[in-house]
Amino acid sequence: MAKKQRRTKLVPVNSTSIHHVGYDRDTQRLLLDYEGGRLYEYFDVPDELYVRLLNATSIGRFVNYAIKPHYHYKEIQRRPAWVEE
């Protein structure tokens, strides 16, 4: 029997550039839902970095300096299957 994939809820954040974030601990994928509706999926992001993101004084600045330069990402057109609608 196939294992059912756990779905992740998006978390609203206090940021002028990012509306919501989501994280799948099993696959270490991070989803950022930006102002204007753009979605980006980041790969191989460690759990501890996700926790630091949620606790950052400036989420946008944290993404720009601690995530974007170090992790592969792609813009996506719709929320992935692992994220609850």
pLDDT tens for 2-45 read: 555 677 888 999 999 999 999 999 999 999 999 888 999 999 99
Residue 13's pLDDT is 94
Instruction: Give pTM, 2 decimals.
Output: 0.86
Q: Integer distance in angstroms from the first to the last C-alpha of the chain?
A: 25
Quick one: pLDDT at residue 39? 93
- The total of other beta-carbon atoms located within 10 Å of residue 44's CB is 12
pLDDT at 38: 92
Provide the pLDDT confidence category of residue 85 given band limits of 50, 70 and 90.
low
Per-domain boundaries in the chain = 11-76
